[in-house]
């Protein structure tokens, strides 16, 4: 165990890190609270407590008693100035994935590269600023960024193949995928699917993350759900996935995606509350440069109200509020009514 702590301390010299077990956060929020001396609320644990503080790294890994060192990605990764993303190439899953890696070797081969314990590869790049990247580049080729994390060498089964600094992400790799979005939710092929089709895709393990993300997004826009209810529903759907079987080819992906459902739901809720995302400041700056306000609140308040002229040719019916609720959707998932 002391050997792993020393390796974690080495990783922390370059990147924030935290302990995981089977690719899930190894410490509960209660345990983290005892270590940090403060309350850790839901959504504040996991990769969000990754640190480069040597004393805290030592405490976290001593308490966890695990053998995995994980590093967060995207806006949560590195020092905030040089966040990283990872192309997770599971070439063992299909010949198509290996072909994609071979075809793009010129763009992949010069950056930092790790081998994984499942005989795949992690290609590490600097994250492009202001761009939301797609979750998948090709079958068997996932792109992990903001909100994700990966096991780092020092973890058994993970080795450095090309020991160099990460290069800027090559945007050419996005050709043929959904266009990257700036400050908005990126589109996926599941956006037009029904809820039932999304659930079926997860349960058959045809797809996991894009379908989960779309369901979370839909529920976040439906005021009938709380975040806790959305997490419970998605947990139940994932629990029925074929990928839950330890021998399934997507079991590792299932474990990783399942561990991040709370964060996925929290992100969906946040995007509905702040739809401009990272562009909010830019939009405010743009409005500040407009010489004449789009809407002058002071003038609107001070101006006398225009006289109301009745329209005799229009009859306004007497409207009475009805307390009768609208009928919910006609099908259930488990004991939850899906209302999206």
Query: What's the chain's Rg over C-alpha atoms?
Result: 24
At which of 126, 145, 170 does a domain end?
Answer: 170
| Together in a domain, 42 and 90 | no
| Together in a domain, 31 and 67 | yes
CA terminus-to-terminus distance, the chain:
47
| Together in a domain, 268 and 214 | yes
To the question of pTM greater than 0.85 for the whole model, the response is no
| Together in a domain, 212 and 270 | yes
> Which has the closest alpha carbon to 251: 198, 196, 208, 188?
208
Q: What's the pLDDT score for residue 328?
A: 54
Q: What is the mean pLDDT of the chain?
A: 78
What pLDDT, in 10s, does the model give residues 97-145? 999 999 999 999 999 999 999 899 999 999 887 777 888 898 889 998 8
In a domain, 84, yes or no: yes
Domain that holds residue 120: 73-170
CA angle 26–49–217, rounded 5-degree value: 90
| Together in a domain, 51 and 134 | no
Q: Report H helices in the chain.
A: 2-12, 29-36, 54-64, 95-103, 105-108, 195-203, 209-220, 227-239, 251-259, 261-273, 280-288, 297-302
| Together in a domain, 92 and 13 | no
CA distances 207 to 128, 186, 214, 219, 326, Å, are: 26, 17, 12, 19, 33
CA dist., res. 292 & res. 87, Å (int): 46
Question: By the 8 A CB rule, do 258 and 297 touch?
Answer: no
In a domain, 132, yes or no: yes
| Together in a domain, 113 and 198 | no
Both tokens of 135, joined, read 């979750």
Lookup result for tokens 């004991």: 335
In a domain, 38, yes or no: yes
CA dist., res. 155 & res. 58, Å (int): 16
Lookup result for tokens 């894009």: 210
At which of 17, 43, 71 does a domain end?
Answer: 71
At which of 71, 87, 119 does a domain end?
Answer: 71
For the chain, the domain total comes to 3
| Together in a domain, 77 and 146 | yes
CATH code of 128's domain: 3.30.2250.10
**Full 3-state SS string of 73-122:** CHHHCCCCCCCEEEEEECCCCCHHHHHHHHHCHHHHCCCEEEECCCCCEE
Low-confidence ranges of the chain (pLDDT < 50): 76-79, 179, 181-189, 277-301, 329-332, 335, 340
In a domain, 320, yes or no: no
Q: What's the pLDDT score for residue 308?
A: 55
| Together in a domain, 84 and 18 | no
What pLDDT, in 10s, does the model give residues 171-220? 989 876 654 544 433 334 456 678 888 888 888 888 788 888 888 888 88
Question: By the 8 A CB rule, do 104 and 125 touch?
Answer: no
Q: What's the pLDDT score for residue 115?
A: 96
| Together in a domain, 42 and 91 | no
Q: What's the pLDDT score for residue 307?
A: 58
């Amino acid at each position: 165990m002391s050997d792993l702590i020393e390796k974690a301390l080495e990783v922390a010299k370059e990147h924030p890190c935290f302990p995981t077990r089977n690719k899930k956060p190894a410490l509960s929020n209660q345990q983290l609270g005892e270590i940090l001396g403060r309350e850790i609320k839901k959504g504040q644990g996991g990769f969000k407590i990754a640190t480069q503080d040597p004393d805290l790294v030592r405490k976290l890994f001593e308490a966890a008693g695990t053998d995995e060192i994980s590093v967060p990605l995207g806006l949560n990764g590195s020092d905030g100035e040089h966040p990283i993303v990872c192309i997770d190439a599971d070439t063992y899953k299909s010949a198509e994935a290996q072909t994609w890696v071979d075809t793009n070797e010129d763009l992949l081969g010069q950056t930092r590269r790790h081998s994984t314990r499942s005989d795949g590869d992690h290609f590490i790049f600097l994250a492009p600023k202001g761009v939301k990247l797609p979750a998948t580049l090709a079958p068997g080729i996932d792109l992990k960024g903001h909100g994700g994390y990966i096991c780092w060498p020092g973890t058994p089964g993970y080795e450095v193949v090309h020991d160099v600094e990460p290069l800027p992400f090559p945007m050419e790799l996005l050709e043929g995928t959904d266009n990257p979005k700036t400050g908005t939710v990126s589109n996926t092929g599941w956006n037009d699917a029904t809820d039932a089709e999304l659930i079926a895709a997860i349960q058959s393990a045809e797809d996991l993350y894009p379908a989960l993300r779309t369901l979370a997004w839909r529920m976040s826009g439906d005021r009938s759900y709380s975040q806790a209810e959305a997490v419970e529903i998605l947990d139940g759907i994932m629990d029925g996935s074929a990928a839950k079987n330890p021998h399934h080819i997507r079991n590792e992906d299932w474990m990783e995606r399942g561990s991040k459902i709370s964060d996925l739901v929290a992100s969906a809720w946040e995007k509905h509350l702040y739809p401009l995302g990272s562009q909010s400041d830019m939009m405010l700056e743009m409005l500040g440069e407009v010489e004449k306000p789009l809407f002058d609140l002071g003038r609107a308040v001070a101006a006398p109200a225009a006289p109301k002229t009745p329209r005799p040719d229009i009859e306004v019916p007497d409207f009475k509020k009805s307390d009768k609720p609208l009928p919910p959707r006609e099908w259930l998932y488990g004991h939850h009514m899906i209302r999206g």
